[in-house]
Amino acid sequence: MDSTKKISHLALDIGGTLIKLVYFSANGDYSEESRNGCSVVHGKLCFAKFETRKIDDCLEFIRFNILHHSGVQHPNGVAHDKLYVKATGGGAFKFADLFKEKLGILFDKEDEMHSLVGGVNFLLKTVPREAFTYLDGQKEFVEIDHNDLYPYLLVNIGSGVSMIKVDGDGKYERISGTSLGGGTFLGLGKLLTKCKSFDELLELSHHGNNRVIDMLVGDIYGGTDYSKIGLSSTAIASSFGKAISDGKELEDYQPEDVARSLLRMISNNIGQIAYLNALRFGLKRIFFGGFFIRGLEYTMDTISVAVHFWSRGEAKAMFLRHEGFLGALGAFTSYSN
């Protein structure tokens, strides 16, 4: 970052489900963040998240930490009595008036896709051990050669899913997406299991067994593989397919099995669509980001297996340590542009 320019201390990514904050903490006093239980500290760069539906908590956090005083003058030099803060995501539009009214700050809006790509490129170029693969329970960090970074496919799994082909700094195209994303997992999960939060749903899924509900190839073929077309008996033929039988009700299934099956279905589907798009454009590397992943082994394993299976080992699924803050980081680094 260019130190001759004023570096601001706050950038926001306001998504459909979560608000992500990236900011510099000058004094290193992190007690308030710990109290909120919502942030990780990396040196002086801090990360925090809030549920969008609880936006008042976010406003209070910013006010308490006086982050709203660290904005910049208008980027184009337009005189104004208010400070500007970089903001991206749909909420940068939706909540602009609220932030102006409650905190007296204006948003300098950054495009969402541009910020996502900017965040990933920044991380891959400057943060060591940022990217890793996860397969068969093995996490392996991947050092990316900066001269051999492009092209790659970025799959951001937020409330919905965006798939972006990245060819360079600021060179990208949104080539696909799916509405079956993190919001679907959380929304359906809440309806089906009565869980109140994402963390509760994840915890539940941890103890579940998807085979109780999913219809496997072996269920159809009497326990054997369908080897002629390369399907093992344990491959899922139909997610939630067993629930059609025996006149069973939702109450007859354990919520943990439902949560597990749902997580598997969403992750598998995204992995498969990602692979198909990578194939479409001849891309070998696929980076997965977004808060849906949350570093969860089961999710990463399912996505990796889907990519590995469909590409016959040709394409690689990779994950990022700062997966949930890609857009916010991109907006943050854009202060230096």
Closer residue to ligand ADP in complex, CB, 21/166: 21
325 binds ligand ADP (CB under 6 A): no
Q: Let me know: does 68 contact 23? Beta carbons within 8 Å.
A: no
Return the axis-axis angle of helices 255-281 and 198-206, rounded to nearest 10°.
100
Quote the CA–CA distance of 310 and 234 in Å, as a whole number: 16
CB of 20 to ligand ADP, least distance (A): 6
182 binds ligand ADP (CB under 6 A): yes
The token pair that represents 225 in the structure block:
């593989």
Closer residue to ligand ADP in complex, CB, 10/215: 10
CA distances from 23 to 5, 33, 126, 158 (A): 16, 12, 17, 21
Closer residue to ligand ADP in complex, CB, 158/330: 158
Closer residue to ligand ADP in complex, CB, 15/330: 15
89 binds ligand ADP (CB under 6 A): yes
Q: How many residues bind ligand ADP (CB under 6 A)?
A: 19
Residue from 218, 255, 271, 290 in contact with ligand ADP (CB under 6 A): 290
CB of 328 to ligand ADP, least distance (A): 9
185 binds ligand ADP (CB under 6 A): yes
Instruction: Find the residue with minimal CB distance to ligand ADP.
Output: 15
Half-sphere exposure for 27 (CA within 13 Å, toward CB): 7
Closer residue to ligand ADP in complex, CB, 287/310: 287
Closer residue to ligand ADP in complex, CB, 5/194: 194
17 binds ligand ADP (CB under 6 A): yes
CA distances from 139 to 7, 65, 266, 300, 317 (A): 35, 36, 21, 10, 12
DSSP 120-137: HHHHHHHSTT-EEEEETT
CB of 291 to ligand ADP, least distance (A): 3
Interacting stretch for ligand ADP, rule CB under 6 A, among 78-86, 123-131, 243-251, 286-294?
A: 286-294
Q: Let me know: does 96 contact 61? Beta carbons within 8 Å.
A: no
Q: What strands lie across the sheet with 10-14, from one edge to the other?
A: 39-42, 45-51, 18-24, 10-14, 83-88, 105-109
CB of 199 to ligand ADP, least distance (A): 6
158 binds ligand ADP (CB under 6 A): yes
Quote the CA–CA distance of 38 and 114 in Å, as a whole number: 26
Quote the CA–CA distance of 289 and 269 in Å, as a whole number: 15
Quote the CA–CA distance of 21 and 49 in Å, as a whole number: 6
CB of 201 to ligand ADP, least distance (A): 8
* Residues at the contact surface with ligand ADP, assessed by CB under 6 A: 15-18, 51, 89, 158-159, 182-183, 185-186, 198-199, 290-292, 294, 324
